């Protein structure tokens, strides 16, 4: 895997397409999920300049903070709480265009305005979530969902 991330010029889909290829190359050479989470968070964060990009891991009845890029964040989130806990409970990606309108949203940072949370599966079980926060409203759409869901599949193959 090249040491340097290459960021495509062009729209979001073009950026994700190149990012995805580089993540495939990364995980081919490394099978430790935490190491891969760390580099995947860094690569997504650097490509798009989001406010916060990281993983929470399922440990018992809670989500526990994992590798991330961005400011300090909450360490633990209970099942069903916030956007992250909801993605875990509902077993589906959550796209939140305005976090203030999401009941029970956990404000780790008052600067976060919109969010996407994608469950990470290991076989039939959710073992983590990928959480991305933006300082802008309505940053995330089905293009993000499609690519991020494909990216997290690479973690536990
Ligand atoms: N906002 C998230 C909590 C995690 S931070 O944004 C990093 C939530 O409501 O689950």
Q: Which residues line ligand 1 (CB under 6 A)?
A: 52, 73-74, 77, 82-84, 105-106, 108, 112, 115, 131, 133
pTM for the structure as a whole = 0.96
* 84-127 per-position pLDDT tens digit: 999 999 999 999 999 999 999 999 888 999 999 999 999 999 99
Would you place residue 132 in the very low, low, confident or very high pLDDT band (cuts 50, 70, 90)?
Answer: very high
| pLDDT given at position 109 | 87
Q: How far apart are CA 107 and CA 114, in angstroms?
A: 11
* 49-73 per-position pLDDT tens digit: 999 999 999 999 999 999 999 999 9
Whose C-alpha lies nearest to ligand 1, atom 1?
Answer: 106
Task: Evaluate whether 39 touches 151 at the Cβ level (below 8 Å).
Answer: no
* 142-152 per-position pLDDT tens digit: 999 999 999 99
* 6-33 per-position pLDDT tens digit: 999 999 999 999 999 999 999 999 999 9
Ligand 1 mean position, distance from CA 157 (Å):
26
Q: Is the pLDDT of residue 2 over 70?
A: no
Q: How far apart are CA 133 and CA 82, in angstroms?
A: 13
Q: Alpha helices, DSSP H only, in 49-141?
A: 82-90
Q: How far apart are CA 82 and CA 112, in angstroms?
A: 13
Q: Is the pLDDT of residue 3 over 80?
A: no
């Amino acid at each position: 895997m090249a040491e340097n991330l290459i960021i495509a010029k062009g729209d979001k889909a073009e950026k994700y397409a190149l990012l995805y290829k580089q993540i495939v190359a990364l995980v081919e050479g490394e099978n430790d999920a935490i190491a891969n989470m760390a580099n995947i968070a860094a690569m997504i964060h650097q490509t798009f300049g989001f406010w916060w990009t990281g993983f929470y891991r399922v440990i018992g009845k809670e989500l526990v903070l994992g590798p991330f890029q961005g400011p300090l964040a909450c360490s633990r989130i209970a099942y069903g709480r916030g956007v992250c806990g909801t993605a875990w409970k509902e077993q589906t990606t959550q796209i939140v265009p305005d976090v203030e309108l999401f009941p029970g949203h956990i404000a780790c940072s008052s600067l976060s305005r919109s969010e996407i949370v994608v469950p990470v599966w290991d076989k039939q079980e959710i073992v983590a979530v990928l959480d991305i926060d933006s300082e802008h409203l309505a940053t995330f759409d089905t293009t993000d969902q499609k690519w991020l869901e494909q990216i997290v599949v690479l973690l536990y193959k």
